[in-house]
Amino acid sequence: MIPLPITPKITQKGENKALFEIEGLYPGYAVTVGNALRRVLLSSLEGSAITQVKIKGVLHEFSTVPSVMEDVIIIMLNLKKLRFKMFSGEPQNITLSVKGEKEAKGKDFKLTSELELINPDEHIATLTKGTAELVIEAVVERGVGYEPIEKREIKKSEVGVMPLDAIYTPVKKVSLRVEDMRVGKRTDFGQISLEVETDGTITPQVAMNRAAEILVKHFLIVQDAFAEKIEEKVEKEGKTEKASSKKIDSAEKTAEELEENKKVKAEDLKVSERTKNALVKNSLKTVGGIIRKSEKDLGELEGMGDKAVGEIKKAIKKLGLFLKESE
């Protein structure tokens, strides 16, 4: 049987940066695993970005704004640098209105409650006169990887609305290095060094977790498609019967597993970001705290609707746990 690698570890860590090392990969597997992870990290993670913009007094991108140092193309490039955490799946409209001689920054945008700007000090434009005015309307959307304008279905919009190439991916850079290492008497085993840098909306650890999860789901589809069905002979009441192999219900947990599942953090549940934020805001930090509440109790909490309660019930059921019965 092919030996599995050693558990990955982080050898260097900085602001939004981390160096991951995976050692002891069977010959040939380091390149395979490393390239797969790098590919998914760069192209397949979900994020948020500005997808279209409208600037007051501007009809197209090849123009200028009176008393503003940067032309429209530079302003649009600066807008692409803004990085958002988005707590909803719906597009969000944001506006910037600046007057006078000053520098316009990301923090000058008025955001909705569903958005958080990670880099508020990002430069947008420089207004050079006291009479200068810059008004920008933009749309922020969720998406995966990178999406050029040409690949996006753009509905006919009003004059002056300019679409942007959308850089959704939260990963800015991935560097991969593969080296040989010694395992026992063999010197052809592989070692992966993977440096990951994100934009601050997620950590490198979360990025790696999501990339691995995407790959695992793809391979599970292949595995399940060709899994053998084994018939077993079961003797019951003196008679031998044939029965198809029984699948163990993932919801059935041992007492020890249930206790461990109660310690799972609310932020690690497979629910939407908005639901996670509502749980934490209401001081429900673990699954153990959540299951002490009934469905009615949860529904009365601030920021918690029927959809959120449904997500929670589904997520904790997978852990073999249930909400408190309503009195």
Distance CA 72, CA 107 (A): 19
What is the phi/psi pair of residue 211, to 5°?
A: -65, -45
CATH label, 255-317, candidates 3.40.1350.10, 3.30.360.30, 1.10.150.20, 1.10.8.60: 1.10.150.20
Instruction: Let me know: does 76 contact 162? Beta carbons within 8 Å.
Output: yes
Look up the CATH architecture of domain 46-167. Answer: Beta Complex (2.170)
User: pLDDT 10s digit of each residue in the chain, 327 long?
Assistant: 788 999 999 999 988 999 999 999 999 999 999 999 999 999 999 999 999 999 998 988 888 999 999 999 999 999 999 999 998 889 999 999 999 999 999 999 999 999 999 999 999 999 999 899 999 999 999 999 998 888 876 666 677 899 999 999 999 999 999 999 988 888 889 999 999 999 999 999 999 999 999 999 999 888 888 776 544 444 444 444 444 433 334 334 466 777 788 888 888 888 888 888 888 888 888 888 888 888 888 888 888 888 888 888 888 888 888 888 765
Query: What class is the 9-45+171-220 domain?
Result: alpha beta
Q: Where are the domains of the chain?
A: 9-45+171-220, 46-167, 255-317
Distance of CA 37 to the CA centre of its chain: 15
Distance CA 219, CA 227 (A): 12
